[in-house]
Amino acid sequence: MRKVITFLFIFFFSGVLYSADLIVYCGAGTRPPMEEIAAAYTKENNTKIKYNFGGSAQMLAQIELSGKGDVFIPGEELYIEIAKKKKLISGEPLIIAYWMPVILVQKGNPKNIRNLSDLEGEGIKLGVGDERVCAIGIVTKSVLEKNKLFEKIEKNIIVKTSTANELGNAVKLKTVDAVIVWDSIAYMYPDSGDVVDIPVKENEISKIPAAVLKNSLNKEEAEKFIIFLKSEKGREIFNKHHYKTSAVK
């Protein structure tokens, strides 16, 4: 009987351990720093962060379908603009970090890929994000078109993914010779690949925004969380995971 009473006590009262819960929709590529930030925020503020990670378009669809949630953090500003048009956002977003595409090649760079143009080489197996569902896909296509390379390289694309993280895994599994992926994601695979930078003049800098959702049941706490992302502690965690917290010039 004592065990039953103890169980019931835990079941009914465990919710009071936290003063509030926040539901946060995040682009999958931000997972490593966001999980660490959640732990730090919960420790300081007694608020539990519940994440949904996925492709930015997928997260936007979930927000619209569910009508629930507190914060939206996609991998690119475009998705915030779409959310605004759908009247899903409350107030103005804050930019919490920046990232840029790089080329992640197999360890040792056996195909000798040194720049974007090398990706059009005969027999190169390339992976990119799907521009229909994820931020890295949209930005990759834009970068390739900017450099008049998309049509030349398209024939070598054998993998399209719904998240940036899957691109790193494609290199790890040796499915491809190279991928175009966010810089911070590429650095997660030091044992599997090497990073080839894309010069800033050929590249695009993407901003990672965070916004309070219109249907949030706790807008004050949601705003407080976003401010924490911009705080010294938040920036420290982002930098630790190779995310930029100031604009690249």
Residues 188 and 226 in one domain: no
Q: Are residues 52 and 171 in the same domain?
A: no
Residues 6+ apart with CB under 8 A from 3: none
For 192-229, how does the pLDDT look when each residue is reduced to its tens digit (9 = 90+)? 999 999 999 999 999 999 999 999 999 999 999 999 99
Residue 159, domain member (yes or no): yes
Query: Does residue 61 sit in the same domain as residue 93?
Result: yes
Is position 245 within any domain?
no
Query: Does residue 73 lie in a domain region?
Result: yes
Residue 1 exposed, middle or buried by CB count within 10 Å (0-12, 13-18, 19+) = exposed
| Mean pLDDT (the chain, rounded) | 92
pLDDT tens-place string over residues 151-187: 999 999 999 999 999 999 999 999 999 999 999 999 9
Same domain assignment for residues 41 and 129:
no
- Same domain? For 165 and 211 the reply is no
User: Can you give the residue range of the structural domain that contains 28?
Assistant: 20-98+207-240
Instruction: Examine residue 15 and state whether it is found in any structural domain, yes or no.
Output: no
Q: Which long-range contacts (CB under 8 A, 24 or more apart) does 143-149 make?
A: 143/101, 143/116, 143/180, 143/198, 143/202, 143/203, 143/204, 144/116, 144/180, 146/202, 146/204, 147/116, 147/117, 147/202, 149/116, 149/117, 149/119, 149/120
Helix (H, G, I), strand (E, B) or coil at 20: strand
Instruction: Tell me: do 169 and 215 sit in the same domain.
Output: no
Pair (136, 225) in one structural domain: no
- In terms of Cβ atoms closer than 10 Å to its own Cβ (0-12, 13-18, 19+), residue 118 is middle
Number of domains within the chain: 2
Residue 179, domain CATH? 3.40.190.10
Q: What is the pLDDT of residues 37-55, one digit of tens each?
A: 999 999 999 999 999 999 9
Terminal alpha carbon distance of the chain: 67
87 lies in some domain = yes
- Based on its alpha-carbon atoms, the radius of gyration of the chain, rounded to whole angstroms, reads 20
Confidence bin at 14 (pLDDT 50/70/90): very low
Domain co-membership, 125 together with 179: yes
For the whole model, what pTM was predicted? Answer: 0.86
Does residue 229 share a domain with residue 162? no
